[in-house]
Chain A
Amino acid sequence: MSAVPATQAPAPKPKSYLENGHTVASWLLTGDHKRIAILYLISVSIFFLVGGIAAGMIRTELLLPKGVFLENDSYNKVFTLHGIVMIFFFLIPAIPAVLGNFLIPLMVGARDLAFPRLNLLSWYVYMAAGTLGVIVILLGGVDTGWTFYTPYSSLYSNSQVGLTIAAAFLAGFSSIFTGINFIATIHKMRAPGLTWFRLPLFVWAHYATSVIIILGTPVIAITLLLVGVERVFRIGIFSPELGGDPILFQHLFWFYSHPAVYIMILPAMGVISELISAFSRRPVFGYHFVAFSSLAIAGLGFLVWGHHMFVSGQSMYQGVVFSLISFLVAVPSAIKVFNWTATIYKGTVKLDTPMIYALGFIGLFLIGGLTGLYLSSMATDIHLHDTYFVVAHFHYVMVGGTIMGYLGGIHFWWPKMFGRMYPDNWGKLSAVIVFIGFNLTFMPQFVVGYLGMPRRYHYYYLQPEFQPYHIMSTLGSSVLGVGYFMPVLYLLWSLKYGKKVGDNPWGASGLEWETSSPPPTTNFLEMPIVTKEVYTYDAEKAEEEFEHRQELIEEVTG
């Protein structure tokens, strides 16, 4: 794609969005999607740290069959905190609200998102939800698990269920606001010439995600509200003691929460499409298939929620249907993986940090997706349901998938956001450490789950045979922790000391690279007009250029 100047007036190089105001108010009252993305970047990182500390406590506690330092109730509160923070405050907003927010207007050639104030409101609502979350912790925490199953949550738990529900409710609205913004922007604000099929797959993925957010999130909001109503007013909705139905809660909960796993993974898949293409110098293979598979996942994803309930007491016939559709929804995920693989074929591959993360993503997502099949087959799920096997499965997709995608994206667009480069060797090292640490942490959990270790267990003193796997997992998690902490250090370092780079250090093709890095507040100085197809990479030319460059280097040095 190229930006053809629409007006001929030469403009002076403008201030970047980072230089446009240095006061606190210029950040906290900004309507600039790029600044809001930075606000989100800081906030989700803090929540990731909080969730990570909780994870460390869980892993430490499980080193010994009788626990190490927590009481029953505190353990239950810690794993609940971990789940709620990671899912509602990190995984769901991470890629859309940080990378999506920053990049979608740039990728469609717009000045900003459609509703800048709504965008800022979304961040404030998110922060309000987060603040409520912190208050919950200060008041003693909550112990229902992130799944809030009734009647435990509505009648039996003595912890801060009400406030937690309010926090999750608010967090949901913040993502709804983001979703609305993305849909409106993608529909109405594409630059002239930027047809739907010239949109990067990152944008397609965010479009599909936004549809899920808008259709699904209101359901969880109402459901949690009903739990609150039953808890406070004792009106029977989910509790049989009061005349309600506890399985109804599970239906409503998973009607949102299954699609929510796609809210978490689709944006990461969008990132991976961009990275694989840019670092193989090839257009994404089967662009249309990859684009439509996102929509297929968004649609079918709403029809499989019952696969979380095979042993809950739902009807057998329901189970069969949910199982069948779950197998169907696996196909679009497989299509994506095969297309990425085919994209690398005959490319000119550069193994820079973002690409290492992307390749790691493919490996981990493969295992995560394939182990989903064990859980979608009703018979195998009977034994594996609610054991560490499920825990391992969803960490492979959510941590292995989403976080690898997120970190890969952050490393790719870091120079876009800040105009400086981090040390590439440190980046590669962190990607490799994350990949190894991740597998050490979660591979043993498949085995211990198959052996029968239930999830959400504090003790396993009657089953010492589980311990070796817990020890491996805990050791792995400390490696993983190092892997996650390294980027924090060198990325922060690079803000001040990193090498300044040009506007397009990767030579990537997206419209977002056609403005300066970091971009000016208005994104583009002239209205960009798109005349080229998407992903105008040429592997053969890239190779020639590379060889030419090598020759020049040899001439100079040798």
Chain B
Amino acid sequence: MWRLKFAPDQASTFAEQYDWLFWATTALTIFFTIVVGLLVIFFALRFREGKKVDRSNAHDHHLMLELTWSIIPLIMGLGIFGWASYLFVETRQPPKNALDIYVIGKQWMWHAQHSNGVRENNMLHLPSGTPVRLTMISQDVIHSFFIPAFRMKQDVIPGRYTQMWFTPTKPGVYNLFCTEYCGTQHSEMGGYVVVMEPSEYQEWLANGGDNVPVKPMTMVQKGEKIFKDKACFKCHGDQDIHEGPSLVGIYNQRRVMKDNSVRLADDEYLRQAMYDPYAHILKGYENTMPSYKPKSTDDLEGGLSEEDVLNVIEYIKSLRSSPTAPAPAIPPLATGVPPTEVPN
């Protein structure tokens, strides 16, 4: 009636390494369960009351035995620990050339945005054979992004970014789940991950994703538009001025703070600079920038949504790549087509 499945699909480079460790641990588990289990049963039956067996010279304690059965499991445990930690540390270090995709979790859906601005809900299209890095944040409670076929999972929390990366290996359609309990429809907060051949993925992206009639703005363009609408350029020009520092080329650079501490201007830093500007003040500046944190997720009121912030960060990143990048002081819109927002 059913075909029983014993293992999930294996569709990422990590999944392959993962399963070696998983089955090695399983072998150890089964081995110890059977050995100890059989010993217990064997002893209990052999030394049953009424069995005429030798019971003389039984020990009540035995130091060497105690040491043996403490140290051998310890060494095996440490072996597993080392192997597992090695793999884990790898999962925390995305390669430099990874494809960036952004994910926002909210009750009860996943929302992803590709760098050219294509968005999708409860679906994630990926190219195979390419390392992918997801930068994720939640708009409300904690969620967790889980793709069993990749053996990969990361909590998505409000208030700061978390990341995960993987290299999909096999084109196909895989389950996507939320694995951190998040309220009423937790069990329906999921969908599919679609892994495609890289060329198909490019085509899919270029066509604006699934059922998207108009070409969306890229994330950089959206960020640029926000930068202009909110008049950020008044203080952040192409040069440091009294009102504010220039943002050109600052991404992933070290910045010196008022208290002489040094911070790396990564995604998290940039987000905080917009939402909570006084958390770190640059050397030479005062508390003059307003916070762009919205009152709530339903009432933006002059603030920026998490998605806006991600777009602005992409824009700031783009200010680094070429020295001839348009000076943000007078931001022209890069493309001629009037951007039409795609309703979600």
Interface residues of A (CB under 8 A from B): 72-73, 76, 143, 145, 147, 149, 151-152, 156-157, 239-241, 245-247, 280, 282-283, 285-289, 310-313, 316, 319-320, 323-324, 327-328, 330-331, 334-335, 337-342, 344-351, 355, 359, 362-363, 366-367, 370-371, 373-374, 376-380, 382-383, 385-387, 447, 450-452, 454-460, 462-463, 465, 467-468, 539-540, 542-543, 546-547, 550
List chain B residues, Cβ under 8 A from A289: 61, 66
Cross-chain contact B155 with A312 (CB below 8 angstroms): yes
Q: Which listed segment binds A: B83-91, B201-209, B329-337? A: B83-91
Q: Which residue of B lies closest to A315 (CB)?
A: B92
Rounded to whole Å, the gap between the CB of A548 and the closest CB of chain B is: 12
Q: Does B172 contact A (CB under 8 A)?
A: no
Q: Does B22 contact A (CB under 8 A)?
A: yes
Interface string of B173-201 (1 = CB under 8 A from A): 00101111111111110100000000000
Cross-chain contact A451 with B8 (CB below 8 angstroms): yes
Rounded to whole Å, the gap between the CB of B263 and the closest CB of chain A is: 16
List chain A residues, Cβ under 8 A from B41: 359
Q: Does B313 contact A (CB under 8 A)?
A: no
Which of A247, A288, A367, A377 interacts with B33 by CB under 8 Å?
A: A367
Cross-chain contact A350 with B144 (CB below 8 angstroms): no
Interface string of B51-76 (1 = CB under 8 A from A): 00011101111100110011001100
Cross-chain contact A285 with B59 (CB below 8 angstroms): yes
List chain B residues, Cβ under 8 A from A387: 179
List chain B residues, Cβ under 8 A from A468: 2, 4
Q: Which residue of A lies closest to B162 (CB)?
A: A313
Tell me the bound Cα distance from A316 to B70 in angstroms.
28
List chain B residues, Cβ under 8 A from A283: 60
Cross-chain contact A379 with B87 (CB below 8 angstroms): yes
Cross-chain contact B81 with A377 (CB below 8 angstroms): yes
Q: Does B21 contact A (CB under 8 A)?
A: yes
Tell me the bound Cα distance from A376 to B21 in angstroms.
13
Interface residues of B (CB under 8 A from A): 2-8, 17-18, 21-22, 25, 28-29, 32-33, 36-37, 39-41, 43-45, 47-50, 54-56, 58-62, 65-66, 69-70, 73-74, 77-78, 80-81, 83-89, 91-92, 107, 140-142, 144, 146, 148-149, 151-155, 157-160, 162, 175, 177-188, 190, 296
Cross-chain contact A371 with B29 (CB below 8 angstroms): yes
With A347-B47, A452-B148, A540-B55 as known contacts, state yes or no: A313 contacts B181, CB within 8 Å: no
Interface CB pairs A-B, < 8 A, 23: A76-B184, A149-B141, A152-B141, A152-B183, A280-B47, A285-B60, A286-B62, A311-B154, A328-B77, A331-B73, A331-B74, A342-B59, A348-B49, A355-B44, A371-B29, A383-B151, A386-B153, A386-B179, A386-B180, A451-B148, A467-B2, A542-B49, A543-B49
With A379-B91, A387-B179 as known contacts, state yes or no: A287 contacts B78, CB within 8 Å: no
Cross-chain contact A373 with B80 (CB below 8 angstroms): yes
Cross-chain contact B187 with A460 (CB below 8 angstroms): yes
Which of B5, B86, B159, B181 interacts with A240 by CB under 8 Å?
A: B159
List chain B residues, Cβ under 8 A from A147: 181
Tell me the bound Cα distance from A379 to B144 in angstroms.
16
Tell me the bound Cα distance from A480 to B328 in angstroms.
69
Cross-chain contact A457 with B187 (CB below 8 angstroms): yes
Which of A246, A288, A380, A467 interacts with B61 by CB under 8 Å?
A: A288
List chain A residues, Cβ under 8 A from B185: 72
Q: Which residue of B lies closest to A149 (CB)?
A: B142
Cross-chain contact B18 with A459 (CB below 8 angstroms): no
Tell me the bound Cα distance from A460 to B148 in angstroms.
14
Q: Which residue of B lies closest to A326 (CB)?
A: B81
Tell me the bound Cα distance from A456 to B177 in angstroms.
12
List chain A residues, Cβ under 8 A from B73: 330-331, 334
Tell me the bound Cα distance from A366 to B41 in angstroms.
14
Which 3 A-B pairs rank lowest in CB-CB distance, beginning with the nearest?
Answer: A240-B159, A452-B148, A377-B84
Q: Which residue of A lies closest to B294 (CB)?
A: A241
Cross-chain contact A382 with B175 (CB below 8 angstroms): no
Q: Which residue of B lies closest to A467 (CB)?
A: B2
Q: Which residue of A lies closest to B187 (CB)?
A: A457
List chain B residues, Cβ under 8 A from A327: 74, 77-78, 80-81
Cross-chain contact B158 with A366 (CB below 8 angstroms): no
Cross-chain contact A377 with B25 (CB below 8 angstroms): yes
Tell me the bound Cα distance from A334 to B187 in angstroms.
37
List chain A residues, Cβ under 8 A from B33: 363, 366-367, 370
Cross-chain contact B179 with A319 (CB below 8 angstroms): no
Cross-chain contact B88 with A378 (CB below 8 angstroms): yes
With A367-B33, A378-B84 as known contacts, state yes or no: A151 contacts B158, CB within 8 Å: yes
Tell me the bound Cα distance from A282 to B190 in angstroms.
56
List chain B residues, Cβ under 8 A from A239: 158
With A285-B61, A540-B55 as known contacts, state yes or no: A157 contacts B158, CB within 8 Å: no
Q: Which residue of A lies closest to B155 (CB)?
A: A312
With A72-B184, A151-B158 as known contacts, state yes or no: A373 contacts B77, CB within 8 Å: yes
List chain A residues, Cβ under 8 A from B149: 452
Known pairs A341-B43, A374-B22, A383-B153 / 20 extra A-B pairs, C-beta < 8 Å: A76-B181, A76-B183, A149-B141, A157-B183, A283-B60, A310-B88, A342-B65, A348-B47, A349-B48, A373-B28, A377-B81, A379-B18, A383-B152, A385-B179, A452-B149, A456-B181, A459-B187, A462-B175, A468-B2, A539-B55
Rounded to whole Å, the gap between the CB of B344 and the closest CB of chain A is: 21
Rounded to whole Å, the gap between the CB of A236 and the closest CB of chain B is: 11
Cross-chain contact A245 with B159 (CB below 8 angstroms): yes
Rounded to whole Å, the gap between the CB of B319 and the closest CB of chain A is: 27
Which of A73, A379, A462 interacts with B21 by CB under 8 Å?
A: A379
Rounded to whole Å, the gap between the CB of A556 and the closest CB of chain B is: 18
Rounded to whole Å, the gap between the CB of B34 and the closest CB of chain A is: 10
List chain A residues, Cβ under 8 A from B59: 285, 342
Tell me the bound Cα distance from A344 to B55 in angstroms.
11
Which of A76, A313, A330, A546 interacts with B186 by CB under 8 Å?
A: A76
Cross-chain contact B85 with A546 (CB below 8 angstroms): no
With A152-B181, A547-B50 as known contacts, state yes or no: A363 contacts B21, CB within 8 Å: no
